[in-house]
């Protein structure tokens, strides 16, 4: 097993009348275990053209253990550029330049095909995104010449 | 305007041959600008003994905590399951209305953009009826 931690720090000195300072850390464990860490990760960087909604993280039978975690960041620097993240046809929200998201992801194969696929569309300009999936497994394709 | 930052650090020394250290800081701006978000629900805490589907953020609910949020802008949501992990089988499912995003086990947190819109609420369902405690905050315009 591996030990992977995810920490968030939210802070502001002037959003509220008192300082906002919040921090949380979690360790990424497998479903149904007390301390068995996720052992697999995919880490990508991609340039996503505008005009099309793409499957960023497709469903896979090997992922259906429902203990997967997704990180996505929009690396563009123009503040008007954004990407829209969806879970299939349900829009989650917009990541503007520099914004990131981190969330657990349930790969649900019981519903319609691609019903839980993580999708992403770039708006205004092509978007450079980095994304990572910490996961329980993946299905490797058998080589065509095997 | 206000300056609010969200920093993530993803770290592992043994998930790969070389350590992974991902760290990034986002400043929470209004849509398409470099002006900081100025509205928030603040950090809130909710407890439930229900295993039924429950609305956490009710978009547009009059007098609700998210009543003034504008759809399709630059809102962000933080949610944490503050329960202990226990035996690792208890969790809270977080949903975009009827669409499951994923499961927060005890101690897990998430931070996502939120578009909102009519009927587009953020909901949760605990995996059992023992007490579950969530903390959450919405930053919005």
Query: Please, what is the average pLDDT of chain A?
Result: 94
Residue B133 forms contact with A (CB below 8 Å): no
* pLDDT tens figures, B29-56: 999 999 999 999 999 999 999 999 999 9
**CATH code, domain carrying A123:** 2.60.120.10
* Nearest chain A alpha carbon to B28: A99
* pLDDT tens figures, A128-141: 999 999 999 888 88
pLDDT at A110: 81
Taking CB atoms and an 8 Å cutoff, what residues of chain A touch B73?
Answer: 94
CA distance B122 to B98: 9
* Nearest chain A alpha carbon to B80: A24
Residue environment code for A79-103, b if the CB has 16+ CB neighbours within 10 A, otherwise e: bebbbbbbbbebbbbbbbbbbbbbb
- Across the range B116-136, mean pLDDT stands at 95
CATH class of B38-140: mainly beta
Residue B9 forms contact with A (CB below 8 Å): yes
Q: Report yes or no: A69 and B122 within 8 Å, Cβ to Cβ.
A: no
Q: Is residue A44 part of a domain?
A: yes
Domain boundaries, chain B: 38-140
pLDDT at A114: 84
Which residue, chain included where needed, has tokens 């989650």? A92
**Structural domain range at position A56:** 40-135
pLDDT at B64: 85
Q: Is residue A96 part of a domain?
A: yes
Task: Give me the residues of B, 20-49, that contact A with CB < 8 A.
Answer: 20, 22, 24, 26-27, 29, 31-34, 36-38, 40, 42-43
CA distance B127 to B77: 21
Predicted-complex ipTM score = 0.97
* Spans of chain A, pLDDT less than 70: none
pLDDT at B73: 94
Token digits of residue A7: 């920490």
Q: Is residue A8 part of a domain?
A: no
Q: Structural domain tally of chain A?
A: 1
* pLDDT tens figures, A53-67: 999 999 988 898 789
pLDDT at B62: 84
Q: Pick A94's closest partner by Cβ from B8, B15, B74.
A: B74
């Amino acid at each position: 097993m591996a030990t992977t931690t995810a920490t968030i720090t939210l802070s502001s000195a002037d959003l509220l009348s008192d300082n906002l300072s919040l921090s949380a850390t979690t360790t990424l464990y497998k479903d149904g275990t007390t301390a068995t860490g996720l052992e697999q990760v995919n880490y990508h960087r991609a340039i996503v053209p505008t005009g099309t909604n793409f499957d960023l993280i497709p469903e896979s039978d090997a992922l259906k253990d429902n203990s997967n975690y997704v990180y996505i960041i929009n690396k563009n620097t123009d503040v008007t550029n954004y990407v829209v993240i969806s879970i299939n046809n349900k829009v989650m929200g917009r990541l503007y330049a520099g914004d990131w998201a981190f969330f657990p992801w349930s790969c649900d194969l019981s519903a319609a095909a691609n019903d839980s696929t993580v999708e992403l569309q770039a708006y205004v300009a092509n978007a450079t995104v980095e994304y990572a999936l910490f996961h329980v497994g993946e299905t490797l394709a058998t080589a065509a010449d095997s | 305007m206000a300056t609010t930052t969200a920093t993530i650090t993803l770290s592992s020394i043994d998930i790969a041959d070389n350590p992974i250290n991902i760290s990034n800081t986002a400043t929470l701006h209004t849509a398409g600008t470099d002006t900081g978000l100025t509205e928030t629900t603040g950090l809130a805490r909710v407890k439930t003994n229900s295993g039924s589907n429950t609305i956490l953020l009710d978009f547009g609910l009059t007098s609700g905590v998210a009543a003034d949020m504008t759809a399709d802008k630059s809102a962000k949501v933080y949610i944490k399951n503050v329960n202990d992990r226990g035996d690792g089988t208890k969790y809270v499912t977080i949903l975009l209305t009827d669409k499951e995003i994923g499961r927060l086990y005890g101690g897990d947190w998430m931070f996502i953009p939120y578009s909102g819109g009519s009927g587009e609420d953020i909901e949760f369902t605990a995996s059992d009826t023992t007490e579950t405690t969530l903390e959450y905050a919405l930053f919005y315009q």
